[in-house]
Amino acid sequence: MEQELIELVLEETREKFQKALDHVRSEFGSVRTGRASSALVEGLAVDYYGTMVPLKQIAGFSVPEPRMLVISPFDKSSMGAIEKAIQNSDLGLNPSNDGIIIRLAFPALTEDRRKSLVKIVRGKAEEGKVALRGVRRSARQDLESLEKEHGLSKDDIERVEKTLDKLTQDEVALVDTLLQQKERELLEV
């Protein structure tokens, strides 16, 4: 019984770690690297007939060239709203509309812009690490309540806390690896 409860806490913690890592990956994907990527605009909120919806629900995306993103609205009457959402975003991109599709040309990044993007990515990585540590803290609180409610031994708790610490260190190392990859990608000319 006790072992099952401990495994349940560990499994829940692993799931939360995975969600935190997925969030870090998506945050990194939303940082522009000079290459066209639909991840930059998929989440943009578009006013579609009075309702704010993510762009990915009302349009398809393709990347015909490394610095060109093509947005194909499912409903051609939404083109104006999509263009407006892109212009109002902080992406710094000007959409061009030919009546059928919207093209986004990505200019090459300057050295200063690359360095500022690296700082942004480092901040997002740190937020991810904080989230991972928060998951560990939550798991420890769950273990403490199990100790009180079900009489888990101190040895069991210490053993599981060591496992939790190891899991957390592994996940933080993975965030660091993702950060290094993204920095290389950003600084690549």
Quick one: fold of 2-30+110-187? Topoisomerase I; Chain A, domain 4 (1.10.132)
- Whether residue 36 is predicted with pLDDT greater than 80 in this model: the reply is no
For 68, the 3-state DSSP assignment is: strand
pLDDT band at 42 (very low <50, low <70, confident <90, very high): confident
From-to residues of CATH 3.30.1360.40 in the chain: 38-105
Q: How many CA atoms lie within 13 A of 158 on its CB side?
A: 3
- Other Cβ atoms closer than 10 A to 143: 22
Threshold 0.95, pTM exceeds: no
Assigned CATH class of 38-105: alpha beta
83-92 residue pLDDT tens: 999 888 877 7
The rounded mean pLDDT for the chain is: 88
